Amino acid sequence: MGQAVIRIVLADDHAVVRQGIRDFLEDEPDLQVIAEAADGAAAKTLIAEHRPDVAILDIRMPHASGIEIAAWVQEQHLPVRILILTSYDDEPYVVAAVQAGAGGYVLKDAQAAQIVAAVRTVAAGQLAMGREIAHKLVTHLNHTPAAELVDPLSERELEVLAMVASGVTNRAIGRGLHISERTVQGHIANIFAKLQVGSRTEAVTKALQLGLIKLPGAGA
């Protein structure tokens, strides 16, 4: 059986950069760049039209930034995962991207194999973030006052949340905890409700801020 193809919209305001990224992405049989945009406005149009599995976005583009587009995708409730691919590793950009709903944040100087892996990870609904980027996010959260949870997470919900932060799929979580995938989905729904979030990325970010979990690979 063939692999499911991950459909991608690629947005960057430099044509040479887009071509280079497209070339190594399309060397992979399960990745297909279905459209390209040279600015934020065109990216929005293409995302709305094609509903790709993943949108790969530069941060700084004319008309709309990658972060603004990520927030717009969330507002429109589009079933599109966002991977930020940028040269900027500044903490404010990292934090803003995650808060906007981006599922991944990778630097352009990463190896092609790392970017390919990040696309697949984000497409699966998991977090894709290098160690140095994760460290910047954790540093920010460590200096952000934490709010109190009105309805604390149960021990089982904390176990599920920790596995979500590790990028584990619902099926794998179920196997690891000896529960059904449907039960895992129920726990994740409860976690979202208690944390008042709408995505796995937001749930992990909020849990880090509250000190409920530690991000894998981001410790000392």
Dist CA 126 CA 104 (whole Å): 8
Q: Which residues contact 28 (CB under 8 A, 6 or more apart)?
A: 116
pLDDT confidence of residue 139: 62
Confirm whether 134 is domain-assigned.
yes
Q: Are both 49 and 124 inside the same structural domain?
A: yes
Q: Are both 152 and 135 inside the same structural domain?
A: no
pLDDT confidence of residue 150: 65
Q: Are both 49 and 99 inside the same structural domain?
A: yes
- Amino acid 79 reads P
pLDDT confidence of residue 219: 43
Confirm whether 219 is domain-assigned.
no
Question: Could you tell me the residue range of the domain that residue 154 belongs to?
Answer: 146-210
Confirm whether 116 is domain-assigned.
yes
pTM, to two decimals: 0.69
CB 193 within 8 A of CB 202: no
pLDDT confidence of residue 22: 95
pLDDT confidence of residue 218: 45
Q: Are both 10 and 34 inside the same structural domain?
A: yes
User: Which 3 state secondary structure label does DSSP give 6?
Assistant: strand
CB 127 within 8 A of CB 103: yes
pLDDT confidence of residue 1: 46
In the sheet that holds 128-129, the strands lie side by side as: 31-37, 6-11, 54-57, 81-86, 104-107, 128-129
pLDDT digits (tens, 9 = 90+) for 145-179: 555 666 788 989 999 988 888 777 888 899 999 99
pLDDT confidence of residue 136: 64
Single residue among 111, 141, 171 that ends a domain in this structure: 141
Confirm whether 215 is domain-assigned.
no
CB 129 within 8 A of CB 84: no
pLDDT confidence of residue 215: 58
Number of compact structural domains in the chain: 2
Confirm whether 199 is domain-assigned.
yes
Dist CA 182 CA 8 (whole Å): 29
Which residue positions in the chain have pLDDT lower than 70? Answer: 1-3, 131-132, 134-150, 214-220
Q: Are both 28 and 132 inside the same structural domain?
A: yes
